Structure 1
Amino acid sequence: MKNKVFTFGIALILGAVLCGCSTKPEVLTMKRGVNFSHWFSQTRLPDYPPVPATAEDIQLIRSLGLDHVRLPVDPVRIWEFPDEGPLNPEALQEVDAAIELALNHDLSVVVDMHPRPDLKEQLESDPATFQSFLKLWQELATHLAQYDTDRVALEILNEPMVENPEKWQSMANELHGIIRKAAPKHTLIIGGAEWSDVATLRRLVPVGDPNVIYTFHFYEPHLFTHQGAPWGSPEWLVLTNVPYPLPPEAGTNMLAGVTNEIAREALLDHIAQQWDADKIDSRISGAAEWAATHGVTIWCGEFGAYRPYANPIDRARYVRDVRSTLERYGIGWTLWDYQGSFSLVEKEAPGAPAKVDWPMAEALGLSSIKSTPLETD
């Protein structure tokens, strides 16, 4: 593993020389952060009302030693599709208040465009919807350009669902161009096609702008991180007792109790992969090598594990292995999420005081600040 890190460092220098870039591009620095899900995104009123963060939440995040927050925003909250009317002033005011709340507590902010899957499908299939999305970003970036360039970054699209990497490359280039004109000095963030994992990051071609961060999300292996989740692949609902790591003998014992054929095939593949810290390193190192080759900055915008069904010890172990691997390669990270179903904290009700999951905090390297006035054991 040490050899890999050494090789990565050499590749970073060579990549910077080849592209004529500095090894320290003028981009927003983000080391450790957390996502605020279900505030301006992932809401289905009235069944899933927004869950705002409080000033106490922001204070707690800062006291934990985190330096940034990612703020996912569903574009339908602020824009009518496919019409090209003005931005919704009330919703925009709420987003501004959230940004300012974080900035006032010395946290940087990533404003992440985070549509629902149906809109992301339309962005690929319907040119009129994509043109409306471009217009939205032109208006929003013009508005957000008022914020400090060293404190606020703009993420063009969360987890694109475009299967064709060449098509997404063209869309990303166009989005980059229109946002850059409206916000000429802000750091922009771009991920790969088809859910923005490491593999799709490696197929992305950098846009030639030194003030861009390239992002990827890390949820491998999904059979562990999404076990029991009621969305996505059907085997996630069937397999709800998957440990991390999973020794081959334990995997064989698990198979004996699985009758669903799809779940059996998924579990067999999972066992064969032998997921552990070294396996995680082998994946993340691929992202680091891509970044070094191109002389660009990368950032892991999401990682974590679904809380309801994962064993808490295994969940913390997994988060520790991912976090420590990212940091070993000098990659900043943002946990998914603060108070949702992958959360760092628990609350008895929305707006109630947050109770930190301290094993998770320790897995994130945050345990040294346990004695905070905002938290009681």
Structure 2
Amino acid sequence: MAIHIGGRGPGHMVRVSLSVPDFVSEPWDGVTRFTASKGINEPPLGFDDFAPWSNANLWSNWMSATRWSSLLTQTTADHIRVCIDPTPMLRAANNASQMVAYLAMVKGAVDDVLARGLKAIVDMHVSRDATYGDAALCAAYPSGDAWTRVRSVWRAVTILLNQYDTDKVAFEVWNESFSDKAKYTALLPDLVAYLRSVVGYKTTFIVMPWNGTYDTSINPTFAASQFGANCGFAHHMYIPGIFTHQGQAGANHQHYVHNLPFPVTTDQRAAFISAATAEINADNSLSSAQKAEFNGLIATDINYYFDNFAYTTDYDGAQAVTDAIGAFFQEFGSRNPGSPGAGAGLEKWRVANGVAASQIFITEFGVHRDYDIEGANQEDAVRWFSVVSKYLNVQGLARTVWDDFDSYFSIRANPGPVGSITAATPFDTQILQAIGMYREPPFDTVSLPGLALLHRKNGYTAGTGTWDDISPINRDSVQATAGSRPTANTTEGGITTTSTQKIPSTLPADPEIEYGWAVITIPVLTGSNKSIIGSTDGSGNSGRQIAVNTSGGIVMNRQGQSQQIGTGSGRIVAGQKQLVEWIRQRSTTLPTQIWVDAVQSASGTVNDAYAAGMTSFIGGRQSGENFVGSIHEIGSVQGNIPDAATRAKVQGRVAWDHGIQGRLPAAHPYKAMAPA
């Protein structure tokens, strides 16, 4: 029985939270099997047209050293799902030499994954070529050219994978059938039996024993026993589709939905239906029939969404559970593992079939995040990932999220534009944290070498001089003057820093951060490192200064970079990223969120490449202004300090601390008096 606190429909919803420990799944049957926890889908051999398969380096070009580095250092992934579009192999099924070349590409991808210390799930997707696609295959089964080629190609891949250890590589035999359910119910066990007759039971197979991907009704005609020993079962988690696929490019109605709240706190269905309908009706690329169809689907899906995805607390008998949402309860069956609730779904099928939780693999999981089409808000996407992850954790289910590919689904901070394979960008820390995949950066236990904390009390001395006459916020422009102070160059981690004798090289015992701020300077970067850091005019030194909010963020600006960004912006962006990572790896106290004081070009276009790649902006300034010139803008541009009172307090403290309160706007609440 499920009791919902808060109700459904119009009005405010009530949230009640209780803590629930993660559920640890039971082992299979005491025999070595393939198991996994959290992984990442990498799609260079799939989800693209077949032509790139003519490039033998398709995998290695995508999985570059940069991409591997970010994946291994930023995530706790234990496996990679190698996604394969089998179309090239199906077309080449009767061409032995071409098949050998294609199989070598698959082997190269698997070997690359294993060499990184990770496990691999090799996923064979349904061909997007209609000749060999799901519909054609099911229509002709148990005969036809498509079925013959599938058996031949799948046999070759199975033989290839059978050479690997059982606990290292699994084979996801089929992906998302949408066609003839009766035929698929017979086809899938038939295919598995055929492959087992060829290679036996060494390799763990993963199959999807129901039709479609994320339907709440599991096909009861499928039984785990139909697939024999050493078999896992896949499920794809995109519930609710109107939320996870909103804004997706393509011929679907979800494309016209944007910014759905998650979860629902007030009933806004009318506004969302109206907005989507207007967008559909204005799209001249749609026929009248398509518009009518899409408008109907929009009304159905959005009504379902607002009826079912409100804040609730569910109870399974006497077992209280946390942050459960009604439709997820229906899908997964229960937050009490092994005791499915009234919702049927995946958990009920699992228990009824005697399947261990570790045999269930959520091999696709995510929210659509496009580069140029507005979809889910960041905060709503993060909440969705968090809620779903709680279900998966409690029930001990493995899950695999998307990396990024043509902006389809992504857990990276800045997926590239549609139709391109872009250079790897940093992962989105918020989402990684929400799904429990964020790897904390390694920190030294010593002070920050090459960095200097500028103590901001009048009269504080360090080294051989005082800082009373130098505003720390303007320090870099002073230091950039040749010979202004004695310097010493040091090199570490490929970055040369220039420190001065007057700056303490260790954190003082009393860093004066009673209100949560300190200032750290990365001294001037000189010589050959100019290209790394990105001096736009190539003239010389480029100091960097960072203000550290010890309760949650870093503000970074570019002192000494008052000239226009121009063509050097890419080098500046790369340099800032490198510097921030350098700081993160050497600090025991610095927070992980980076806030950037945005620099704009003469045209006023915000240089957001770094902000999107690292985290986001908190302020802005026009080219030619220094940080203090726009101190009043801290936290105002992108709303990363959304609370106005807190933002004003931070602005006031920074301004008064540096003696630049006169630059605050006349109406600022701390123009006349510093905040307490």
Question: Which structure dedicates a bigger proportion of its chain to helix?
Answer: 1
Give the C-alpha shift of residue 61 in structure 1: 2.7
1:344 to 411, 419, 426: 411
With over 3 angstroms needed to count, the CA separation of the structure-2 counterparts of 1:46 and 1:204, relative to structure 1, is same
Q: 1:344 to 1:200 in 2, by over 3 A?
A: same
The answer to whether the 8 Å contact 1:245/1:274 transfers is yes
- Report if the CA contact (8 A) 2:90-2:149 is conserved: no
Q: Deviations over 1:103-148 (max 9, x none)?
A: 0111111111113343122211233211220121112211221112
Q: Report the 3-state secondary structure (helix = DSSP H, G, I; strand = E; otherwise coil) of the residue aligned with 2:101.
A: helix
Q: CA RMSD in A?
A: 3.2
CA deviation after TM superposition for structure 1 residue 249, in Å: 2.2
- Residue 325 in 1 paired to residue 391 in 2? yes
User: Which of 157, 164, 169 is matched with 2:174 structurally?
Assistant: 157
Q: Distance in 2 between matches of 1:353 and 1:200?
A: 37
TM-score, with structure 2 as normaliser:
0.49
Match 2:186 to one of 124, 149, 170: 170
**What does residue range 272-291 of structure 1 map to in structure 2 within 5 Å?**
272-274=307-309, 277-279=324-326, 280-285=328-333, 286-291=345-350
Q: Deviations over 1:273-308 (max 9, x none)?
A: 235542323312331221122122211111101002
Runs of 4+ more than 6 Å apart: 46-49, 372-375
Give CA deviations for 1:230-278 in whole Å, capped at 9, x if unaligned: 2353x21222232211234233443454546322333222222235542
Aligned to 1:312: 378
C-alpha spacing 1:174/1:55, structure 2 compared with 1 (3 Å): farther
- The 5 Å alignment of 1:218-237 reads 218-231=237-250, 233=252, 235-237=253-255
Query: C-alpha separation between the residues in 2 aligned to 1:111 and 1:317?
Result: 29
Instruction: Establish whether residue 121 from structure 1 lines up as the match of residue 135 from structure 2.
Output: yes
SS at match of 2:217: helix
> Structure 1 residues 46 and 329 mapped into 2: Cα distance closer, same or farther (>3 Å)?
same
1:293 has 2:352 as partner: yes
Match of 1:249, SS state, is coil
- The one of 300, 303, 309 aligned to 1:265: 300
Per-residue deviation, 1:92? 1.8
Structure 2 residue aligned with 1:52: 62
Cα distance in 2 for residues equivalent to 1:182 and 1:79: 19
What are the superposed Cα offsets for residues 305-351 of structure 1, whole Å, 9 maximum, x if unpaired?
Answer: 10021101111111111122111101111113445421122466746
For residues 1-377 of structure 1, the aligned pairs below 5 Å read 26-37=32-43, 39-44=44-49, 52-63=62-73, 64-80=75-91, 84-86=94-96, 88-117=99-128, 118=130, 119-126=133-140, 127-128=143-144, 129-164=146-181, 166-184=182-200, 185-197=202-214, 198-200=216-218, 202-206=220-224, 207-231=226-250, 233=252, 235-259=253-277, 261-262=295-296, 263-274=298-309, 277-279=324-326, 280-285=328-333, 286-296=345-355, 297-308=359-370, 309-339=375-405, 340-345=407-412, 346=414, 350=421, 352-371=423-442, 376=581, 377=614
Is the 2:135–2:180 Cα contact (8 Å) retained in structure 1?
no
Per-residue Cα deviation, 1:73-109 (whole angstroms, up to 9, x for no partner): 111222326x544362222222211111110111111
Distance 1:230 1:26 in 2: 42
Contact 2:38–2:400, Cα closer than 8 Å, also in 1: yes
Structure 2 gaps of 5+ residues are: 4-19, 279-294, 312-323, 334-344, 444-492, 494-577, 582-613, 615-676
Aligned partners of 2:219, 2:426: CA distance in 1, in Å?
A: 35
**Structure 1 residue 47: Cα displacement:** 9.6
Q: Identity of aligned pairs, percent? A: 21
Partners of 1:22 and 1:36 lie apart in 2 by 27
Gaps of 5+ in 1: 14-20
Query: Which structure has more RCO (C-alpha within 8 Å, separation ≥ 6)?
Result: 1
Which AA in structure 2 matches 1:300? I
Relative distance call for 1:347 and 1:112 in structure 2 (3 A) is: same
How far has the Cα of 1:52 moved from its partner?
2.1
Distance across 1 between alignment mates of 2:396 and 2:241: 24
Q: Deviations over 1:43-85 (max 9, x none)?
A: 126699967222443343333111111111111222326x544
CA distance change for structure 1 residues 289 and 95 in 2, over 3 Å: closer, same or farther?
Answer: same
Could you tell me whether the CA contact under 8 Å between 1:58 and 1:102 is conserved in 2?
A: no
- Call closer, same or farther: CA 1:257–1:139 in 2, change over 3 Å: closer
**Cα pair distance change 1:69/1:141, threshold 3 Å:** same
Q: Cα distance 1:208–1:111, how it changes in 2: closer, same or farther (>3 A)?
A: closer
CA 1:92–1:347 in 2, change beyond 3 Å: closer, same or farther? same
Report the more deviating stretch, 117-126 or 251-260.
Answer: 251-260
Q: 1:330 to 1:201 in 2, by over 3 A?
A: farther
Alignment partners' CA distance in 1, 2:367 and 2:402: 8
Moved more, 181-190 or 337-346: 337-346
Q: 2:40–2:403: 8 Å Cα contact kept in structure 1?
A: yes
Which amino acid in structure 2 is aligned with residue 265 of structure 1? T
Retained in 2: the 8 A contact 1:161–1:194?
A: yes
Is this contact kept in 2: 1:79–1:88, CA < 8 A?
no
- Give aligned pairs, total: 360
- Tell me how far apart the structure 2 counterparts of residues 199 and 337 of structure 1 sit (CA, whole Å): 28
Deviation at 1:204, TM superposition (A): 2.2
Q: Distance in 1 between matches of 2:330 and 2:210?
A: 21
SS at match of 2:62: coil
SS of alignment partner, residue 325 of structure 2: helix
Q: Distance in 1 between matches of 2:28 and 2:389?
A: 26
Tell me how far apart the structure 2 counterparts of residues 100 and 80 of structure 1 sit (CA, whole Å).
25
